[in-house]
Structure 1
Amino acid sequence: MLLTQDADIEVVGEADDGITGTELAESLAPDVVLLDVRMPRRSGVEACRAIKEAVPAAKIIMLTVSDEEGDLYETVKNGAAGYLLKDSSIEEVAQAIRVVNEGQSLISPSMAVKLIDEFKQMSKPDKQQGTQLKLTDRELEVLRLVAKGLNNREVAKELFISENTVKNHVRNILEKLQLHSRMEAVMYAMKEKLLDLP
């Protein structure tokens, strides 16, 4: 109800459970989907996975009371581009919808801290060489800048290439590394310590 009052956001559907939500997303193909981790009939993680398979272009934001690291990892792994706790203000939710719709990722600050701490613990240097072999030098440059929080326009400016070229590089990176979202790419880059490489 509050989101419908926002001039640049149109609510195209609502559902009471994960199965109905998935079916609605398939039929309406929305730009952004808000899900909860805990939903009747189908969990948010399962719904997230099903929606990304059916409507790959849809951006998914988890809006939930769960501050469990496991829920965060599972939803991001299955394609979620945002993770907000329900204590977020309506302005923060609306802004998250805009940011995620533009291709960025957004996580509640308290959850981002948990995510970073976890991936600091999980560094596996032995995989770096494999990643470097998979990605071109330019793709590694793009991945590092994306992982530092730059959007496509900023990456393009930094590397003196077009925004479209950046989008193509990001798509190739996700395909090569078998990832679903920019957020997963950031997590991967941190885990593989790619930000520390020269």
Structure 2
Amino acid sequence: MPKKRHPDLASSAVRASMVAVNAVPPVGIDRLRVLVADDHDLYRRGMQVVLGQEDDLEVVGEGRNGAEAVDLAVELVPDVVLMDVRMPVLTGIQACGRIKDLVPSAKILMLTMSDEEADLFDALRAGASGYLLKDEPAEAVIDGIRAVHAGHSMIPPQMAAMLVTEFGRLSRKAKERERGPKLTDREIEVLRLVARGAANKEIAKTLFISENTVKNHIRNILDKLQMHSRVAAAMYAMRTNLLDQD
């Protein structure tokens, strides 16, 4: 699908009253249902305009704080939630954890002005599938929505370096910690592939099993590790040196 050129989100919001968002998708296209949660009206309005120009995306709700985001997620069951990190009532990170508990099918993409590594790590631990800075172009947000819905992770390159540093620190301490829950040999194989960035289809092909079986293994892995996302499980695999035990 060819990419559309978008102005920045603030400019989009200023012109929102002049833009008609088509609420009816073209025949044969199932739109991804997106919930936007941000305490800035201008940003939410701009995002409504930008996403409304995409044939495969639809904004189904807007939350002004973390508590509203949780309530709307339960009511609307969106495919993807765009969530600001810093919001009143409940922070985006607190809301992220609650949404993953209540609506586990929803993918959460955090959008923020914060490039602090603590926010990144907390968001991933809470179950976020991606983390983008608000100064990214609109195309990056659109690509991020599609990517996390497809099961991929989205982290800006400049912040990925923070993860590498953290992985190194954790791996040095891993031998001092008690080993985690017992995973089966097959679950370890699946987890290693997840940590290397493989999608379910690729894992199924590599291990000669069905995608449904892969999903079941990943669900069992997350349950045993008491984690909410593939990213968190991948971090566990790296800090416990599972990738070095092939």
Residue pairs, 1:44-193, within 5 angstroms: 44-123=92-171, 124-127=174-177, 130-131=179-180, 134-193=182-241
Between 36-45 and 142-151, the greater mean CA deviation after superposition = 36-45
Distance verdict in 2 for CA 1:138–1:59, change over 3 Å: same
Out of 32, 48, 58, the residue aligned to residue 10 of structure 1 is 58
Which amino acid letter does the alignment assign opposite residue 85 of structure 1? L
Deviation sequence 1:115-139 (CA, Å, 0-9, x none) = 11111111103558x34x6111111
Which amino acid letter does the alignment assign opposite residue 95 of structure 2? A
Q: How far does residue 13 in structure 1 lie from its aligned partner after superposition? A: 0.5
Which amino acid letter does the alignment assign opposite residue 180 of structure 1? H
- Equivalent residue for 2:84? 36
Q: d(CA) in 2 for partners of 1:146 and 1:127? A: 23
Q: How far does residue 160 in structure 1 lie from its aligned partner after superposition? A: 1.5
Q: Secondary structure at the match of 1:2?
A: helix
Deviation sequence 1:16-43 (CA, Å, 0-9, x none) = 2222222211211111101111112221
Which amino acid letter does the alignment assign opposite residue 118 of structure 2? G
Larger Rg: 2
Q: How far does residue 89 in structure 1 lie from its aligned partner after superposition? A: 1.7
Deviation sequence 1:122-166 (CA, Å, 0-9, x none) = 1103558x34x6111111111111101111111111112111111
Distance verdict in 2 for CA 1:127–1:159, change over 3 Å: farther
Aligned CA RMSD, in angstroms, stands at: 1.5
Out of 23, 26, 39, the residue aligned to residue 74 of structure 2 is 26
Q: d(CA) in 1 for partners of 2:72 and 2:137? A: 26
Q: Secondary structure at the match of 1:149?
A: coil
Q: d(CA) in 2 for partners of 1:51 and 1:165? A: 25
Q: d(CA) in 2 for partners of 1:147 and 1:64? A: 25
Contact 1:125 1:193 in 2 (8 A): no
Q: d(CA) in 2 for partners of 1:74 and 1:18? A: 15
More RCO (CA 8 Å, sep 6+): 1
TM-score by length of 1: 0.93
Q: How far does residue 54 in structure 1 lie from its aligned partner after superposition? A: 2.0
TM-score by length of 2: 0.76
Identical aligned pairs, as a percentage? Answer: 57
Q: Secondary structure at the match of 1:61?
A: strand
